[in-house]
């Protein structure tokens, strides 16, 4: 990257050799501020007090320990589903795998400590192999595959005599950690300490990872996998890592469980427990690491409470229900009805679980309009889940800022919204939600539906919608528009010479959706420091061409970036080669803060994994400081210097566009593809954007700009290519191109030829 | 206009903070063909989506005197308000013939209008494609199917969203020739960027910019095309190019 | 909870834990017959949830428990009302239709437009509720359902095949043929496919989406009922887990077939039955219940679009 010219915006140097900007150490990234671990200690202390206060007798103590144990298991699942969004039913089966592995080890006279380690390793290994096998499975396929895996594991537990004794094992040695045994008269007391410690460790691990890059990347991969891939994130690896982490924790808790209980049966780890794990996480709140604690409390104690409520039910039987219904003797039989119903009700009415209620209350109490994720006392205690919750609440209600881009001519890329967009809306997080909820019933639902299915359309889903950005194949030569390169003299004819030292060279790019040839053998070059404009009417294939070059739609052709060939169809590769992009409908990650959005684009991927995030904190901090400085510099470069710690959810349209640009810039691209950057911006904002982009060009960056605004294109671009029906029909100087009759025609539409009756025969219509 | 089939009074549509349509007034009377023109993002598509109750709106939109949000998308179609969406949205897994038959649910017992055979007469190229899957069609073929599918529903008012989108001129000509035929019997509201084509079709038109109506006039009045081009291409257009 | 009942259990045993030494060919024949009938069962379970999937894009994880419920409803009608067995079957299937409609209203309609995760979890909740209601109402201990074909055997080449299995195969093929017709040239099928392909555009053409999705859920539950009354008697006894493992096999079959095509799922079902019985009959018998799922995971790994289908089946995923 070339140094900034003296004339352009002063900014701290980001990508230079020195890691830090200036002598003063940059501030700690917010993820490294505050004392979230204090909250964990407080929670643990609270648990201890509750136990002192409420728990008497063996049964109660046992129940309390079960609660803690379940919490541990579900915290593991929180990593899998809550953070990485993976629909896995296998958590219970992995607990079983850990349990039987550890029991086999101790049964063969290995020490318990070793047994636990081996159990965890076995689970991690199986999870990794499984995750790699099903790496291409999404959503339902993944869910079903994990169900299948569970069945296979359960069958192994039942059938492999040598390993599991046919499923039923008794007389398993007690837990013994370096001489400290969970046995004898104060067995339950010790088990309590053990599980409390385990829970503390897991929560601390969760906190550490939330404060390292890995969780933010997992959230990005979860929420918008294609955009994340285009930003360079290794989606498969991240998903596999989190499945392995959660499964390893399941194995760990399973190993402790069997040695605590002293016996094990296969049924304990059946699908029922798998579902229960889901229930606990969802009921507690899947977006907070404390959710599992609440969900497990409900699961363990409400079932128990039901068992104890026979007096009340007898009253019902003698009174209002006399002769109508007799309750079952075993009241806990009713339990699954309750929790099944709760599952449905929670899904309908309470998508953020019990923690969600708490956080809404907290928001109301503190009156905090802002997002608790990164500011405020709650955040300093590490209640980062709350930010996610708030963001989800906003997203959940219909379609907040993203309008239905499903149909092109996007209403959202629409309408410079006048005064609305000029005032930064970032301080106000509640307005969009309320505005949406006030909207009418059925129509509201329609909007929600539209936006739900519209989500991937922003990056154009190939087979499903030939409608978006589709065009005529212009098949036979008969009906095709003027072939490129010939005909129609004028300014356009003097094609600007392809600049020497092309940064981007695309040859014969073609994309077909079903029978529609959306892009047809397009050649493009962008020179170093050049701004190439790409214009054409709606549906002429501009966005599809960008999607083809960045690898998110299948395409043919070849691509070279700075002379090196880049394979099509692999977004992270394209990104690493130096091709950044923005989207027609801004694609930001609303569950993250602004700077986290930008950090996703940082190419430096040192120590991004789970192990480093958990163990090598000082090193990660140093890396994060460097990345943070680069991201902050990128934010400053696009004119959002104060936005770092604001949630991306509340941004104005303009700021979302700038944020995307910052995410592209931080990757130190050689060329950035901008898809309608001025859409939705008013005149002033468009001029500011133009100035910003001109400044970037002055720094040596190349740009490929798709846009509709003639002033913007004329002022910004060195050269313009006109696309129509997926082909290049004209190319030239931005001032001259508008007087080309073909260009005027394609924009206004050529008036229909006088109709001779059968001008349209089968051959002529492609 | 007393016999207005569609009457829009002060309608606005917002997506979050972005206002896509502002305070729009528009009527379409029986037997009338009205064009809505404007640049990308001027709010044309959103207007149509509000008319068929696909997006919530403020203000009033009435079809046959009933507020459309109360009637609902599906029932509006059955009453004869047929919306051909932007990008055609052919059912990809259905054949051409089946796509045309999908006009029948909305016909809901109305007689007259086009039968499936009439549509094949109107678009002869479709005959040979009868059994081809929707997703294997070219853009022009898709547009014919989309218009044909709508005609089979015996529309009382036809809403067309950019029927020329992404089509080669010769295909646009064919589609519009068919639409002129249809317009003899069916009122229409046509959203279009292709001014040349649509002004030949419509009786009058309105031009939207930034979600507001900026120009209104008969087709002849709108024939002076330069200011239309201005409205398409940006704020201050072509001064350099013309110089 | 015991999960081994249906797939690997009563049906899976290739007719004869009898110590009699079977000729190689008769073992092969009986294994093949067992595989085909098991495949038919799996396919019957799978077409039920495919129906809903095709109409609404939702995979109903409660389908297995609906199958169980169908069997128990028939049992209830024969036991408590002394209904003739075929009338009890018909009654159970009719009741199941209504239950499907209710399920759509209660657990699915309120969630339309929400993420796929949310809907799937709600159907899981419904599954748990259904299963528990059965247990409370008719008990969790094993029961047996009668059938006109019960006890009859069909002897071929030294192997004896229970008539019930043949009934299952025949009914499954008839059902699939019927569904293929229903989804093909009928107006209903066209509208359902249109709805699945492009919900909004279908609504713009007057397709009553809410009514169609209720009908689809109803039909799907009725199919589950049919599966229940056929599969129930094929086991010497069954309990409330009857449907669950059958449904798991159905999922595997659907994935093998490419999730969406009826023909694909039937072939997938037979493939699963045959792999489990034939392969499992000779190699590592104790683990043969795992073969369908290992095959499924392999297919997901190597050919996620399914063994048979081109592009169409994958459209919605």
CB contact under 8 A, B52 and C204: yes
Percent of chain A with pLDDT strictly greater than 90: 20
C4 touches chain B (CB under 8 A): no
C-alpha to C-alpha distance for B132 and B97, rounded to whole angstroms: 8
* pLDDT confidence band for A322 (50 / 70 / 90): low
Answer yes or no: is pLDDT of B65 > 50. Answer: yes
Instruction: Write out chain B residues lying below 8 Å of A471, CB-based.
Output: 139, 165-167
* pLDDT confidence band for A748 (50 / 70 / 90): low
Interface of C with B in 255-314 (CB under 8 A): 312
pLDDT of residue C279: 82
Interface of A with B in 140-159 (CB under 8 A): none
What residues contact A570, with CB distance under 8 A and at least 6 apart? A551
Residue of A nearest to B225 (CA): A748
The number of beta carbons lying within 10 Å of the beta carbon of residue A512 is 18
Tokens found for residue A267:
């049924």
Average pLDDT on A122-131 reads 96
What residues contact A19, with CB distance under 8 A and at least 6 apart? A622, A625, A626, A629
H or E stretch at A534: strand A531-535
Interface of C with B in 105-144 (CB under 8 A): none
pLDDT of residue B9: 93
Q: Look at residue B90 and give its three-state secondary structure.
A: coil
The mean-pLDDT minimum among A84-88, A180-184, A349-353, A604-608 falls in: A349-353
**Phi and psi angles of residue B20, each rounded to the nearest 5 degrees, phi first:** -90, -35
Is residue A60 exposed (0-12), middle (13-18) or buried (19+ Cβ within 10 Å)?
Answer: middle
**Phi and psi angles of residue A34, each rounded to the nearest 5 degrees, phi first:** 75, -175
φ/ψ bin of A326: left (φ > 0), alpha (ψ from -120 to 50), beta (otherwise)? beta
Q: How far is B103 from chain C (nearest CA, A)?
A: 6
CB-CB contact of B52 with B73 (8 Å):
yes
Question: How big is chain C by its Cα radius of gyration, in Å?
Answer: 19
Interface probe, candidates C55, C196, C206, C259, chain B, greatest B C-beta count within 10 A? C206
Tokens found for residue B142:
């898709």
The mean-pLDDT minimum among A8-22, A79-93, A198-212, C147-161 falls in: A8-22
CB contact under 8 A, C205 and B105: yes
- Which candidate from C190, C203, C315 shows the least CB-CB separation from B74? C203
Answer yes or no: is pLDDT of C76 > 50. Answer: yes
More confident residue, A651 or B34: B34
* pLDDT confidence band for A465 (50 / 70 / 90): very low
Tell me, letter by letter, the H, E, C secondary structure of B34-46: EEEEECCCCCHHH
C-alpha of C269 from chain center: 10
pLDDT of residue A276: 84
Cα A655 to Cα A244, A641, A649, A651: the distances in Å are 37, 11, 11, 6
pLDDT of residue C117: 74
Which of B25, B75, B30 has its CA nearest to residue B52?
Answer: B75
Which of C101, C57, C21 has its CA nearest to residue C316?
Answer: C57
* pLDDT confidence band for A90 (50 / 70 / 90): very high
C208 touches chain B (CB under 8 A): yes
CB-CB contact of A215 with A78 (8 Å):
no
C293 touches chain A (CB under 8 A): yes
C-alpha to C-alpha distance for A501 and A528, rounded to whole angstroms: 6
CB-CB contact of A718 with A546 (8 Å):
no
C289 touches chain A (CB under 8 A): yes
**Phi and psi angles of residue C205, each rounded to the nearest 5 degrees, phi first:** -105, 25
Residues in chain A: 766
Tokens found for residue C103:
């399920």
CB contact under 8 A, A540 and B92: no
Interface probe, candidates C123, C203, C297, C315, chain A, greatest A C-beta count within 10 A? C297
C207 touches chain B (CB under 8 A): yes
C-alpha to C-alpha distance for A150 and A88, rounded to whole angstroms: 10
Average pLDDT on B216-232 reads 69
Which of B187, B160, B158 has its CA nearest to residue B172?
Answer: B160
Q: What is the mean pLDDT of chain A?
A: 74
More confident residue, A104 or A325: A104
Is residue A19 exposed (0-12), middle (13-18) or buried (19+ Cβ within 10 Å)?
Answer: middle
Average pLDDT on B91-111 reads 91
Question: How big is chain B by its Cα radius of gyration, in Å?
Answer: 18
**Sign of the alpha-carbon dihedral angle for A496, A500, A502, A507:** positive
DSSP E strand boundaries for chain B: 4-15, 18-29, 33-38, 58-63, 66-67, 81-84, 157-161, 188-192, 204-209, 212-218
Q: Look at residue C265 and give its three-state secondary structure.
A: helix
**Phi and psi angles of residue A21, each rounded to the nearest 5 degrees, phi first:** -90, 105
C188 touches chain B (CB under 8 A): no
Answer yes or no: is pLDDT of C58 > 60. Answer: yes
The winner for highest mean pLDDT among A111-120, B136-145, C111-120, C141-150 is A111-120
CB-CB contact of B203 with B34 (8 Å):
yes
pLDDT of residue B70: 93
Average pLDDT on C252-257 reads 88
CB-CB contact of B27 with B6 (8 Å):
yes
C-alpha to C-alpha distance for A379 and A389, rounded to whole angstroms: 13
The winner for highest mean pLDDT among A730-734, A749-753, C234-238 is A730-734
What residues contact A345, with CB distance under 8 A and at least 6 apart? none
pLDDT of residue C174: 93
B73 touches chain C (CB under 8 A): yes
C-alpha to C-alpha distance for A221 and A303, rounded to whole angstroms: 36
Average pLDDT on A586-609 reads 86
CB contact under 8 A, C204 and B82: yes
What residues contact C278, with CB distance under 8 A and at least 6 apart? C28, C31, C32, C35
**Phi and psi angles of residue A671, each rounded to the nearest 5 degrees, phi first:** -145, 140
Tell me the DSSP string of C79-145: HHH---HHHHHHHHHHHHHHHHHHHIIIIIGGGTTS-HHHHHHHHHHHHHHHHHHHHHHH-SS-B--
* pLDDT confidence band for C12 (50 / 70 / 90): very low
Average pLDDT on A612-638 reads 85
Structure letter (DSSP) for residue A169: B
More confident residue, A451 or C181: C181
C-alpha of A641 from chain center: 24
C310 touches chain A (CB under 8 A): no
Q: What is the mean pLDDT of chain B?
A: 85
Answer yes or no: is pLDDT of C22 > 90. Answer: no
Interface of C with A in 63-102 (CB under 8 A): none
C-alpha of B170 from chain center: 20
What residues contact A589, with CB distance under 8 A and at least 6 apart? A219, A220, A223, A224, A227, A596, A597, A600, A648
> Which chains reach chain A with 3 or more Cβ–Cβ distances below 8 angstroms?
B, C
Cα A376 to Cα A42, A211, A371, A384, A646: the distances in Å are 18, 16, 8, 11, 12
Q: Look at residue B20 and give its three-state secondary structure.
A: strand
pLDDT of residue C206: 92
A435 touches chain B (CB under 8 A): yes
C-alpha to C-alpha distance for C254 and C264, rounded to whole angstroms: 7
Average pLDDT on A371-383 reads 37
User: Cα-Cα-Cα-Cα dihedral of A716, A723, A661, A657, to 10°?
Assistant: 100
pLDDT of residue A590: 87
Structure letter (DSSP) for residue B95: B
Answer yes or no: is pLDDT of A92 > 60. Answer: yes
Percent of chain B with pLDDT strictly greater than 90: 46
H or E stretch at A307: helix A303-307
The mean-pLDDT minimum among A215-229, A237-251, B52-66 falls in: A215-229
pLDDT of residue B243: 33
More confident residue, C45 or A2: C45
Average pLDDT on A574-602 reads 89
More confident residue, A527 or B212: A527
Q: How far is B229 from chain C (nearest CA, A)?
A: 31
Instruction: Write out chain B residues lying below 8 Å of A421, CB-based.
Output: 17-18
* pLDDT confidence band for A467 (50 / 70 / 90): very low
Question: Starting from the edge strand earliest in sequence, which strands make up the sheet with B58-63, in order?
Answer: B18-29, B4-15, B58-63, B66-67
The C-alpha angle with vertex A88 and arms to A85 and A92, in degrees rounded to 5, equals: 130
CB-CB contact of B64 with B40 (8 Å):
no
**Phi and psi angles of residue A513, each rounded to the nearest 5 degrees, phi first:** -110, 105
CB contact under 8 A, C304 and A159: no
The C-alpha angle with vertex A372 and arms to A368 and A374, in degrees rounded to 5, equals: 130
Instruction: Write out chain B residues lying below 8 Å of A474, CB-based.
Output: 168
Instruction: Write out chain A residues lying below 8 Å of B41, CB-based.
Output: 409-411, 413-415, 679-680, 708
In the block, which residue shows the tokens 């055997």? C153
* pLDDT confidence band for B160 (50 / 70 / 90): very high
* pLDDT confidence band for A25 (50 / 70 / 90): low
Interface of A with B in 521-580 (CB under 8 A): 537-541
Interface probe, candidates B87, B99, B102, chain C, greatest C C-beta count within 10 A? B102
Answer yes or no: is pLDDT of C18 > 50. Answer: no
Tell me the DSSP string of A342-375: HHHHHHHH-TTHHHHHHHHHHHHHHT--S-TTTS
Answer yes or no: is pLDDT of A198 > 90. Answer: yes
The mean-pLDDT minimum among A180-194, A306-320, C154-168 falls in: A306-320
Is residue A622 exposed (0-12), middle (13-18) or buried (19+ Cβ within 10 Å)?
Answer: middle
* pLDDT confidence band for A117 (50 / 70 / 90): very high
């Amino acid at each position: 990257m070339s140094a900034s010219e003296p004339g352009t915006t002063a900014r701290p140097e980001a990508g230079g050799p020195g890691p830090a900007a200036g002598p003063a150490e940059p501030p700690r990234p917010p993820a490294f501020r505050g004392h979230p671990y204090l909250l964990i200690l407080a929670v643990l202390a609270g648990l201890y007090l509750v136990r002192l206060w409420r728990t008497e007798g063996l049964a109660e103590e046992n129940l309390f320990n079960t609660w803690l144990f379940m919490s541990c298991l579900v915290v593991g699942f929180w990593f899998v589903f809550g953070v990485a969004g993976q629909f896995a039913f296998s958590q219970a089966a992995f607990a079983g795998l850990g349990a039987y592995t550890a029991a086999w080890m101790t049964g063969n006279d290995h020490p318990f400590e070793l047994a636990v380690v081996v159990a965890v390793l076995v689970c991690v290994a199986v999870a990794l192999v499984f995750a790699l096998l099903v790496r291409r499975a999404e959503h339902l396929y993944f869910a079903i595959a994990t169900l299948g895996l569970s069945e296979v594991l359960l069958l192994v537990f039942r059938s492999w005599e040598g390993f599991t004794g046919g499923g039923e094992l008794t007389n398993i040695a007690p837990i013994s950690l370096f001489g400290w045994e969970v046995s004898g008269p104060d067995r339950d007391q010790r088990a309590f300490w053990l599980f409390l410690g385990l829970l503390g460790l897991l929560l601390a691990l969760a906190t550490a990872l939330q404060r390292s890059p890995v969780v933010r990347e997992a959230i990005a991969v979860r929420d918008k996998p294609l955009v994340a891939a285009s930003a360079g994130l290794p989606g498969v690896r991240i998903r596999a890592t989190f499945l392995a982490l959660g499964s390893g924790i399941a194995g760990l808790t399973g190993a402790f469980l069997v040695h605590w209980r002293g016996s094990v049966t296969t049924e304990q780890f059946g699908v029922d427990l798998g579902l229960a794990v889901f229930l606990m996480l969802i009921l507690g709140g899947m977006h907070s690491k404390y959710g599992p604690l609440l969900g497990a409390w409900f699961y363990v104690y409400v079932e128990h409470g039901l068992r104890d409520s026979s007096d009340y039910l007898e009253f019902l039987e003698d009174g209002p229900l006399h002769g109508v219904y007799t309750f079952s003797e075993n009241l806990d039989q009713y339990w699954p009805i309750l929790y099944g119903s709760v599952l449905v009700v929670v899904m309908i009415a309470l998508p953020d679980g019990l923690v969600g209620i708490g956080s809404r209350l907290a928001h109301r109490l503190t009156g905090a309009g802002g997002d608790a994720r990164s500011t405020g006392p709650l955040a300093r205690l590490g209640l980062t889940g709350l930010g996610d919750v708030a963001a989800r609440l906003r997203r959940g209600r219909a379609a907040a800022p993203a309008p239905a881009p499903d149909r092109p001519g996007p209403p959202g890329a629409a309408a410079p919204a006048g005064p609305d967009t000029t005032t930064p809306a970032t301080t106000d997080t509640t307005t969009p939600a309320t505005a949406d909820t006030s909207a009418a019933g059925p129509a509201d639902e329609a909007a929600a539906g539209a936006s739900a299915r519209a989500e991937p359309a922003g990056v154009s889903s190939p087979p499903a919608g030939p409608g978006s950005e589709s065009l005529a194949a212009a098949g036979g030569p008969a009906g095709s528009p003027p072939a490129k390169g010939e005909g129609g003299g004028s300014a356009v004819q003097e094609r600007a010479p392809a600049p020497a030292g092309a940064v981007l060279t695309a040859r014969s790019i073609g994309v077909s959706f079903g029978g529609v040839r959306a892009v047809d053998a397009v050649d493009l070059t962008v020179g170093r420091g050049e701004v190439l404009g790409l214009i054409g009417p709606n549906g002429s294939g501009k966005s599809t061409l960008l999607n083809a070059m960045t690898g998110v739609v299948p395409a043919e052709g070849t691509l070279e970036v700075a002379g090196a060939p880049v394979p099509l169809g692999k977004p992270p590769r394209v990104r690493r080669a130096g091709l950044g992009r923005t989207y027609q409908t801004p694609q930001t990650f609303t569950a993250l803060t602004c700077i986290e959005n930008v950090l996703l684009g940082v190419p430096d991927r040192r120590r991004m994994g789970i192990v480093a995030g958990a163990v090598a904190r000082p090193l990660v901090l140093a890396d994060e400081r460097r990345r943070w400085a680069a991201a902050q510099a990128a934010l400053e470069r696009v004119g959002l210097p104060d936005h770092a710690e604001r949630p991306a959810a509340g941004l104005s349209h303009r700021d979302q566009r700038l944020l995307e640009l910052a995410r592209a810039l931080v990757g130190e691209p050689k060329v950035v593809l901008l898809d309608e950057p001025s859409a939705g911006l008013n005149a002033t904002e468009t001029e500011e954007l133009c100035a910003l982009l001109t400044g970037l060009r002055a720094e040596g960056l190349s740009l490929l700009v798709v846009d509709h605004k003639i002033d913007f294109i004329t002022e910004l671009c060195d050269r313009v290519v006109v696309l129509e029906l997926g082909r290049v029909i004209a190319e030239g100087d931005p001032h001259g191109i508008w007087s080309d009759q073909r260009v005027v025609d394609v924009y206004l539409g050529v008036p229909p030829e006088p109709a001779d009756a059968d001008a349209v025969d089968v051959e002529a219509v492609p | 206009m007393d016999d207005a089939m569609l009457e829009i009074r002060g309608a606005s549509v917002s997506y979050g903070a972005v206002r896509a349509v502002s305070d729009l007034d528009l009527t379409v009377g029986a037997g009338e063909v009205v064009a809505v023109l404007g640049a990308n993002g001027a709010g044309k598509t959103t207007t149509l989506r509000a008319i068929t109750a696909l997006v919530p709106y403020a203000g009033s939109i009435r079809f046959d005197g009933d507020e459309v949000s109360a009637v609902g998308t599906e029932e509006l179609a059955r009453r004869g308000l047929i919306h051909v969406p932007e990008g055609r949205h052919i059912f990809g897994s259905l054949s051409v013939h089946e796509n045309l038959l999908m006009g029948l649910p909305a016909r809901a017992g109305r007689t007259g209008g086009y039968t499936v055979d009439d549509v094949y007469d109107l678009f002869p190229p479709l005959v040979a494609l009868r059994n081809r899957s929707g997703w294997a069609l070219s853009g022009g073929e898709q547009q014919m199917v989309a218009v044909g599918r709508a005609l089979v529903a015996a529309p009382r008012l036809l809403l067309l969203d950019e029927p020329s989108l992404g089509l080669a001129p010769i295909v646009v000509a064919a589609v519009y020739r068919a639409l002129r035929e249809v317009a003899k019997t069916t009122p229409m509201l046509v959203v279009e960027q292709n001014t040349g084509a649509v002004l030949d079709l419509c009786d009058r038109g309105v031009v939207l910019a930034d979600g507001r109506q900026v120009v209104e006039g008969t087709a002849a009045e709108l024939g002076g095309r330069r200011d239309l081009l201005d409205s398409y291409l940006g704020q201050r257009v072509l001064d350099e190019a013309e110089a | 909870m015991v999960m081994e009942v249906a797939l690997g259990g009563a049906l899976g045993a290739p007719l004869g834990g009898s110590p009699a030494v079977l000729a190689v060919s008769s073992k092969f024949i009986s294994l093949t017959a067992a595989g085909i009938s098991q495949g038919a069962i799996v396919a019957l379970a799978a077409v039920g949830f495919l129906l809903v999937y095709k109409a609404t894009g939702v995979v109903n994880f409660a389908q297995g428990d609906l199958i169980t419920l169908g069997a128990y409803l028939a049992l209830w009608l024969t036991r408590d009302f002394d209904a003739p067995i075929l009338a009890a079957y018909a009654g159970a299937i009719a009741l199941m239709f209504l239950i499907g409609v209710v399920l759509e209203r209660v657990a699915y309609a309120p969630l339309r437009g929400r993420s796929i995760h949310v809907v799937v979890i709600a159907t899981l909740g419904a599954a748990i509720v259904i299963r528990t209601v059965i247990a409370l109402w008719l008990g969790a201990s094993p029961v047996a359902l009668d059938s006109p074909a019960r006890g009859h055997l069909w002897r071929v080449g030294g192997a004896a095949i229970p008539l019930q299995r043949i009934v299952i195969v025949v009914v499954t093929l008839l059902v699939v043929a019927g569904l293929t017709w229903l989804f093909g040239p009928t107006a209903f099928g066209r509208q359902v496919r249109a709805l699945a392909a492009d919900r909004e555009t279908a609504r713009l053409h007057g397709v009553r989406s809410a009514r169609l999705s209720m009908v689809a859920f109803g039909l799907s539950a009725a199919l589950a009922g049919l599966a229940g009354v056929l599969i129930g008697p094929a086991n010497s006894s069954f309990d409330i887990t009857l449907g669950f493992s059958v449904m798991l096999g159905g999922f595997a079959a659907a994935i093998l077939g490419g999730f969406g095509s009826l023909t694909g799922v039937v072939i997938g079902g037979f493939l699963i039955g045959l792999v489990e019985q034939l392969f499992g009959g000779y190699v590592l018998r104790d683990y043969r219940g795992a073969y369908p799922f290992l095959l499924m995971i392999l297919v997901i790994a190597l050919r996620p679009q399914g063994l048979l289908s081109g592009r169409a089946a994958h459209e919605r995923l």
